[in-house]
Chains A and B, each alone.
Chain A
């Protein structure tokens, strides 16, 4: 009897630990977006995006502080809908993509604010400069994909000053403050 109880206890422990284990996700570039907007001549905004973001997410629902996020985009994937401007943005007046090909974000701490919101602090590396930023990440949902895989989605919006990253060309005609709106969809591995 005691042996059976021990067996049941061991089995339930194994099962519960499996259920609570962190989930690994891979960013789906086809359904993830790194958009930005920046003021133009202080009269309107120019919108752009970085195509094909990559990254990995580890989500630990039991202990969100153990969650981690890493994202990257290639600086030469900048796309503002104007090929001439995009070509210039990749050069040393702006992103200097030859020198700094990758823009990365790596979380350093994650806190759960409420059921659907995480506060993520991490290092944003852009144009050879790394700075810590904190942003609120809203979890949109988790559910099955078209092929039965598990997908999760999240969104965040935050602002940076490009001059903080050494990108000072054409301020203020092209605004210093850049708003980033990032939508991520990731597939469970």
Chain B
């Protein structure tokens, strides 16, 4: 497991460095915020070593990372989706805390309400322009989608015994960040990068201490933040709905890995099949977003 962890970490670090180089970013653009946010996450996990610290650590790490990415902008009262997201990180994460030990129906209901409230605020600049029906449809749809994603991820994590589910999680969040970033929003892409780093740290911590609770406890807040980032990418930037849907569908594809035929496979065969299933929609999403991004990067815009 140690070698596997090291390998996975190396792959993620190399990917981050390649992305960093490809986008001609400076260390303070992504490497420093991501590293500091990861350190905050890891520090809190190491100090407390209880599952309830995960949402708190997520909030602290996300706030740190987002502050480092869009520092001066947060001095204003929330008027934009970006500032609303910043102010909402804390309630999103902390409200999930009591839910960790609540019965499933209560968790589902509260998460639905929590998501609806967060989406309503974050997209308040749009709500005025949507008619009532549109606003209800969008906010209900996004909240229901978030709840469904969380539910699917949690059931999957509880059910799957090998660590394909952990790797799938990291890939889903990393690809979401990439797709949002390639959709003409470097800022939200980098914020997604911070979220991916938080997931990575929790997953590694969970694997090292052989306790899935460190992942399960973060899934609710991570799911809300993931859908918010994809929705911001779609509403404010150039993230195509197909790309966002492909990212989300990876959760469904991960469930296909639970089919009895795949379940019956041997250890590595099952693991590789499950990873291929998740990589198909993710690869498609990244592959479809990439050409336009490369074209823009060639353009010497700045």
Contacts and interface: CB of A to CB of B under 8 A. Distances in A.
Interface of A: 40-41, 82, 84-85, 87-88, 91-93, 96, 98-100, 127-129, 163, 166-170, 173-174
B125 A168 contact: no
B301 A168 contact: no
Q: Is the interface of B mostly helix, strand, loop or mixed?
A: helix
9 contacts: A40-B302, A41-B302, A82-B299, A84-B295, A84-B299, A85-B302, A91-B184, A99-B236, A173-B302
Given A99-B125, A173-B302, A84 B232 contact: no
- Give the 4 A-B residue pairs with the shortest CB-CB distance, closest first: A128-B79, A85-B301, A84-B299, A99-B125
Nearest to A174: B302
A93 B184 contact: yes
Contact of A100 (B73, B125, B295): B125
A129 B79 contact: yes
Contact of B187 (A169, A173, A174): A169
A130 B212 CA distance: 48
B72 A92 contact: no
Interface string B184-222: 111110000000000000000000000000000000000
A173 B70 CA distance: 15
Interface residues of B, number: 27
B29 to A, nearest CB: 9
Contacts of B185: 91-93
Contact of A170 (B76, B232, B302): B302
Contacts of B70: 168-169
A92 B236 contact: yes
B296 A99 contact: no
A87 B80 contact: no
A127 B79 CA distance: 9
Nearest to A40: B302
A162 to B, nearest CB: 10
Contacts of B76: 128-129, 166
A143 to B, nearest CB: 41
Interface in B127-186: 184-186
Q: Is the interface of A mostly helix, strand, loop or mixed?
A: loop
A168 B184 CA distance: 16
A170 B24 CA distance: 12
A82 B188 contact: no
Nearest to B233: A92
Contacts of A166: 72-73, 76, 80, 82-83
Contact of B80 (A100, A169, A174): A100
A128 B82 CA distance: 11
Contact of A128 (B80, B188, B236, B301): B80
Given A96-B82, A168-B73, 18 more contacts: A41-B302, A88-B184, A88-B301, A91-B236, A92-B82, A92-B237, A96-B236, A98-B126, A98-B235, A99-B126, A100-B125, A127-B80, A128-B125, A129-B76, A166-B72, A166-B82, A168-B70, A169-B186
A30 B188 CA distance: 37
B224 interface: no
A163 B71 CA distance: 10
A43 to B, nearest CB: 12
B237 A163 contact: no
Contacts of B263: none
Contacts of B126: 98-99
B40 interface: no
A170 B302 CA distance: 9
A169 B299 CA distance: 18
